[in-house]
Structure 1
């Protein structure tokens, strides 16, 4: 589920269990307040000391503004239809306007634009994700993670307020016909940014496993800088000498790692598998799971994996929209990285730190290709004259 723009087209593997708690007014409906009291520490675990990694930070206490429902109603023009910018399992997402310093409601067109997620009161999945967003994203600061500005809890109303990402999701740019296509250089930039975000989560003293890495959860700012959004399924990773955590299987078909789907064992490198799937989508321009394709081609990994080691076959599966923008060497290196990320055994997958370094190397190779092409074009033009 992206922040603002669209819900993922792939289906969710499973839903969270129903929360226990007292019912309100004898209606049989679980009380949100009671659920909050029971589950406030369910995903956060023990207190985490401030941990700095690169230009990011994991805070011991969330630094978030607590909004009133009235403020957010005012900021979104009473949640009118023309302010609606997306909808997912959590509920609806609206654009709103806030004063940049005070984060108070202001007139449309002044201050800063924000994205306001409004929980569907009937969605217990949504409440779980609302809580998890605050426990994780509310305490994390990094350039490649979407910034959570605050939240609202007002009786049965639960909302989250984020920075607005004007370019929408990577999914939209790759798969929607009416959205601007991405160049090869921009795709590399996005891949590097998203990889840095995951690498940061994996480098924390108390490791965070994102668990639902996919194109719809990568949002883009005005300069196509990638930011990972939606921490509703995030989990703290294994501690000590443990290799994995065991948890209820949740995520999105086509992106979830095979070991996790088979056993419920969640490894840090289960995220690496998801990254490999998204990188394959960026190379091919095709979605991880598409039931409209012929039966043997519906799962992109199963369909494309045999083509990746062969340079001749690789040429035929690369997205036609980026033809002529990359060197075969750079594309081949990217394909090899995809294969490493998709290794069946998580132990054989690279770390996200290694993924970042490899992608930066591929970017350098492609930059040299672009420089060489410019010189070649200039030389040809002079010769023609």
Structure 2
């Protein structure tokens, strides 16, 4: 499998590595929206595609800071190969619900600038629980390195993250609903969230074969 080179490294590096360029509010919106569109597309495929390793370290950024979900290690059976016919509907639905939850935690990571987990504060979800239950203000939650940010949009995005991380999987939205709500908040169409050189970036994965000499 061949992936287009993403020269700006990973989302994790830009959020948590001091030497990397800090992402401004606009860049974070575009990245969040791009990830949502990508997962929506994956979940609409037949069979649905569920990345096994999905976090900020497997989201790569292009030269214009568009997000590319990469490192797709598909669910495999005991023999090491994944057969869509061997997966039950229930297990696929469970995996998709898990991706929605992971999207919520990544969105929260983007908004807060907090690492996914540290010993002192626990997970970013645990750290932000004060805001999610109403005891912290949005200004206390959003990454302080951003400086100014639109509070109304920040609150709306935090609510998207909260809904994705609902403890009851049945109450979580589908990725299509998440992408639609994110589009309302960010006003970003797919064309605005994807690399300028690759409008169909989620369909770029190709299996390449060399011709015999």
Taking structure 1 as the reference length, the TM-score comes to: 0.44
**Structural mapping, 1:162-311, within 5 Å:** 162-234=3-75, 242-245=89-92, 266-291=94-119, 294=120, 297-310=121-134
Unaligned residue ranges in structure 2 (runs of 5+):
77-82, 189-213
Aligned equivalent of 1:10? none
Give CA deviations for 1:245-284 in whole Å, capped at 9, x if unaligned: 5xxxxxxxxxxxxxxxxxxx94311101111111010111
Aligned equivalent of 1:362? 185
The yes-or-no answer on 1:337 pairing with 2:184 is: no
Aligned equivalent of 2:207? none
> For the Cα contact (< 8 Å) 2:10–2:60, is it kept in 1?
yes
More displaced, 309-318 or 352-361? 309-318
Larger Rg: 1
User: How many angstroms apart in 2 are the aligned matches of 1:352 and 1:311?
Assistant: 28
User: How many angstroms apart in 1 are the aligned matches of 2:95 and 2:7?
Assistant: 33
Greater RCO (CA < 8 Å, at least 6 residues apart): 2
TM-align CA RMSD: 2.4
User: How many angstroms apart in 2 are the aligned matches of 1:170 and 1:226?
Assistant: 8
User: How many angstroms apart in 1 are the aligned matches of 2:71 and 2:31?
Assistant: 17
Judged with a 3 Å threshold, the aligned counterparts in structure 2 of structure 1 residues 238 and 306 are, in CA distance, closer, same or farther, namely farther
User: How many angstroms apart in 1 are the aligned matches of 2:74 and 2:86?
Assistant: 18
Question: Matched residue of 2:128: which SS?
Answer: helix
User: How many angstroms apart in 1 are the aligned matches of 2:52 and 2:135?
Assistant: 32
User: How many angstroms apart in 2 are the aligned matches of 1:238 and 1:352?
Assistant: 23
> For the Cα contact (< 8 Å) 1:166–1:222, is it kept in 2?
yes
Question: Matched residue of 1:168: which SS?
Answer: coil
> For the Cα contact (< 8 Å) 1:280–1:338, is it kept in 2?
yes
Question: Matched residue of 2:118: which SS?
Answer: coil
The yes-or-no answer on 1:315 pairing with 2:139 is: yes
User: How many angstroms apart in 2 are the aligned matches of 1:233 and 1:213?
Assistant: 11
Aligned length: 182
> For the Cα contact (< 8 Å) 2:100–2:172, is it kept in 1?
yes
User: How many angstroms apart in 1 are the aligned matches of 2:183 and 2:5?
Assistant: 27
Tell me how far 1:234 sits from its aligned partner. Answer: 4.1
Question: Matched residue of 2:60: which SS?
Answer: strand
> For the Cα contact (< 8 Å) 2:59–2:70, is it kept in 1?
yes
Tell me how far 1:327 sits from its aligned partner. Answer: 1.5
User: How many angstroms apart in 2 are the aligned matches of 1:341 and 1:327?
Assistant: 21
Higher helix share: 2
Tell me how far 1:364 sits from its aligned partner. Answer: 3.4
Higher strand share: 1
